[in-house]
Structure 1
Amino acid sequence: MSRGKKRFLLRLDPELYEILEKWAADEFRSVNGQIEFLLKEAVRKVGRSKKKQSMLDNDET
């Protein structure tokens, strides 16, 4: 089995999606990439990552 990225459905309020879409465009990311970036930053900030720091950094978009 492939060890690619996990897929799942995420429902967002349309207003929140628009905010994320504009923010992502400002940083030259897709909305998906922006959400993943924000989640990784949050995990890193609170120290909840079981992976080494460099492994998270390698996936940044």
Structure 2
Amino acid sequence: MIKTNELRGVIAKNGYSQKEVAKMIGIAPKTFYLKMKEGVFGSDEIQIMIDKLNIEDPMNIFFAKE
């Protein structure tokens, strides 16, 4: 399960909107919002976000145990 609040914080800290991140990973903004709501992204999408958003501790955000 993804910690969506943490991810939103990282997106904002990097000066991006969720719409821009959706474009960055190659999906429609509507799809991005749905994935955020469900807390599920594909491994390729996660890797792009880790790289582009300079996420230092991806385990904490993308592979959280809640």
Is TM more than 0.5 here? no
Greater relative contact order structure (CA < 8 Å, 6+ sep): 2
* Larger Rg computed on CA atoms: 1
TM-score, normalisation: structure 2: 0.28
TM-score, normalisation: structure 1: 0.29
